Chains A and B, each alone.
Chain A
Amino acid sequence: MHQRLSQRVPVLGDAEVSLEELAFLALALVAVATAAMALLVRELVHTILWVAIFFVDLSAIYFLLDAPFLGVLQLGVYAGAVTILLLFGIMTTRKRIFSREAVTGIGPIPVALSIVTFVFVVSALAELPQGETAIAQYPPQALSVNLFGPNGPWLLLLGLIMLAGVAGAIYLVREGRE
């Protein structure tokens, strides 16, 4: 799929990296930066815009990982539907859409807990196989056969939970309830 991405290009003298490593590095940096910006900016609408870029960036990572169906699903569900739902939520709960969020104190405990989580996961890296491996390629048809075959019960459960979610959401927002 990514024939041209595999060629290696020289950087800084003798060192060489492949174009897909560069692509992954760029996408990962954008993902972390946009996720952080989404939680650091003060205006809620700007948060939504940053998080939309984050979702599109993750979809690009899925395409890089040879999972095109998931990439399209990520674009449609997250970058499309979830972003618009969140914007709708802001529009219905605020008088002026561009209003600033009150400053919340960033205590040491949340920061420490996040960093501890990160370090805990990264410290498990030594257990994983090192070095580069070829990424498995599956055609989308094989994914649908797997999804509706051995993983059919999960899909059924998803349908039931979505039904319950929609019914619960309608019950929560219906008029005239005290």
Chain B
Amino acid sequence: MTTLGVTGFVALSAALFGIGLFGILTRRNFILLLISIEIAMNAVILNFVYFAAFATGTHGLDGQSVAVVLIGFAATEVAVGLAIVLALNRLKGTINVAEATDLKL
């Protein structure tokens, strides 16, 4: 029987979300931005998985199911993000998000 405390997991996912948020706020390269979003999203998925593991009854399975769906969402988001990277690179010749200002008023 595996026994662990829930506090370590909360601290871990909070730290990972903080790192991802830091990357989102500081990086200007679109690919690094995508990686930061993935790190933050992985922290959220980890949240679902460990609270599922510490739940009782069938609620744990609900948490794991939501985690499966979230992994699919994240993969779709990377695919669309990469398409945006390719289009941006073709239009501007750079993937610096600070230069993609065409929609600015």
Q: Which residues of A contact B (CB under 8 A)?
A: 1-2, 5-6, 18, 20-21, 24-25, 28, 31-32, 35-36, 38-39, 44, 47-48, 51, 54-55, 58, 61-62, 64-67, 69-70, 73-74, 77-78, 81-82, 85-86, 88-90, 92-93, 101-102, 104-107, 109-111, 113-115, 117-118, 121-122, 124-125, 128-138, 142-143, 146-147, 150-151, 154-155, 157-158, 161-162, 165-166, 168-170, 172-173
Contacts and interface: CB of A to CB of B under 8 A. Distances in A.
A131 B50 CA distance: 15
Contacts of B5: 130-133
B42 to A, nearest CB: 6
Given A44-B31, A169-B79, A31 B11 contact: no
A55 to B, nearest CB: 7
A32 B63 CA distance: 23
Contacts of A122: 10-11, 14
A96 to B, nearest CB: 15
B50 A65 contact: yes
A128 B54 CA distance: 11
A83 to B, nearest CB: 10
Nearest to B93: A93
Interface in B39-96: 39, 42, 46, 49-50, 52-56, 58, 60-62, 64-69, 71-80, 82-87, 89, 95
Interface of B: 1-8, 10-23, 25-29, 31-32, 34-36, 38-39, 42, 46, 49-50, 52-56, 58, 60-62, 64-69, 71-80, 82-87, 89, 95
A133 B83 CA distance: 44
B66 A151 contact: yes
A110 B36 CA distance: 13
A136 B50 contact: no
Contact of B67 (A5, A70, A89): A70
A93 B89 contact: yes
A41 to B, nearest CB: 10
A86 B34 contact: yes
A85 B73 contact: no
Contacts of A157: 69
28 contacts: A28-B8, A39-B27, A39-B36, A47-B32, A51-B35, A58-B42, A58-B46, A65-B50, A77-B71, A78-B42, A82-B74, A93-B86, A101-B29, A110-B25, A117-B14, A118-B14, A118-B15, A124-B10, A133-B3, A133-B4, A134-B3, A136-B53, A137-B2, A154-B65, A154-B66, A169-B79, A172-B83, A173-B87
